[in-house]
């Protein structure tokens, strides 16, 4: 079993230093390893390899080099698949690493809608029937792109990247209450869809509660956690006469400004602090002399 996306080369292991061979990793033999094995006596190659002791899932020979017969025999004895490619070592390691990172990435499924809004991956979440798909449809009509509706598959790549996609079965489709299933690609064109997008922001739709105090300044940052990573979260109350699609688009535009270091709410608060700090009290306030009319 391949359990790690990281590739390993034999390095000093061929010289007998096996301490850093890790199980579950693809073992790569490049030109230097093949040339080193060719210089060893046949009886020393099996002792240099010892593949069965370190749970090596497979051996990949790059550069199109022919494996020494002793390596073929050792792989057969240890039941380790022996692969060969004509691709050079750096390129082979890069391609295999990318493939394994995607295949072995930690995954989860989220009930929501994922859209590409002005290049920003926006995840719309909320309770069933709140209007996620209807808002997404309005955004699509405004020229933005649908990634997934109802079911969003999210996988974590590297340490900081979340990538969302749609299950193959429901790709390009949306469910609208009262209307049924529609095919966004056929209605609006292929330019209104995309297969995957990095998840960079979440908008949570919730029903308007008159008794609840909502953020009116935007100074406090809130986050939504997915697979151990946090992304900015906007809580959007839904009420009659509120155009949610436009509000979500404005939220995405505002997030793009924040990513570039421009925070309108904090800038306004800083200006207000400057004005208050520099203001002087009015000499007429509270200084009425005795007997004067107010």
List the catalytic residues: 111, 132, 150, 216
188 CB-near residues (< 8 Å, 6+ apart): 140, 141
**Are 176 and 145 contacting, i.e. CB atoms less than 8 angstroms apart?**
no
Q: Which residues pair with 234 in a beta bridge?
A: 203
**Are 39 and 20 contacting, i.e. CB atoms less than 8 angstroms apart?**
no
Sign of CA dihedral 225, 235, 193, 143: negative
Rg from Cα positions in the chain:
30
Residue by residue, DSSP assigns 32-59 as HHHHHHHHS-HHHHHHHH-GGGTT---E
**Are 224 and 204 contacting, i.e. CB atoms less than 8 angstroms apart?**
yes
Given 3-state DSSP classes, what are the helix, strand and coil percentages for the chain, each rounded to the nearest 5? 35, 30, 40
- How far apart are the C-alpha atoms of 89 and 21, rounded to whole Å? 18
Find the DSSP H helices in 167-263: 184-188, 244-259
Q: Which strands form 106-117's sheet, in the order they lie side by side? A: 196-198, 161-165, 145-157, 106-117, 120-126, 201-207, 229-238, 223-226
């Amino acid at each position: 079993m391949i359990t790690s996306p990281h590739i390993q080369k034999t390095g000093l292991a061929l010289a007998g230093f096996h301490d850093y061979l890790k199980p579950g990793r693809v073992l790569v033999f490049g030109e230097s390893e093949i040339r080193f094995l060719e210089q060893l006596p046949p009886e020393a190659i099996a002792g240099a390899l010892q593949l069965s002791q370190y749970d090596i899932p497979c051996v990949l020979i790059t550069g199109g080099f022919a494996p020494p017969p002793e390596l073929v025999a050792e792989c057969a004895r240890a039941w380790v698949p022996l692969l060969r490619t004509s691709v050079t070592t750096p390129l082979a390691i890069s391609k295999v690493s990318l493939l394994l990172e995607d295949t072995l990435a930690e995954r989860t499924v989220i009930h929501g809608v994922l859209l590409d809004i002005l290049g920003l991956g926006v995840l719309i979440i909320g309770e069933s029937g709140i209007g996620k798909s209807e808002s997404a449809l309005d955004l699509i009509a405004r020229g933005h792109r649908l990634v997934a509706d109802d079911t969003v598959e999210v996988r974590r790549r590297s340490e900081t990247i979340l990538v969302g996609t749609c299950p193959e079965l429901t790709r390009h489709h949306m469910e609208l209450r009262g209307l049924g299933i529609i095919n966004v690609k056929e209605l609006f064109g292929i330019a209104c869809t995309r297969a995957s997008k990095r998840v960079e922001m979440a908008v949570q739709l919730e029903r308007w509660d008159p008794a609840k105090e909502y953020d009116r300044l935007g100074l406090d940052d809130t986050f939504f956690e997915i697979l151990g990573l946090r992304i900015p979260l906007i809580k959007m109350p839904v009420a009659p006469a509120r155009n949610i699609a436009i509000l979500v688009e404005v939220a995405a535009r505002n997030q793009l400004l924040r990513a570039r270091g421009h925070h309108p709410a904090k800038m306004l608060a800083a200006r207000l602090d400057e004005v208050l700090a520099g203001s002087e009290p009015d000499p007429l306030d509270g200084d009425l002399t005795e007997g004067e009319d107010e």
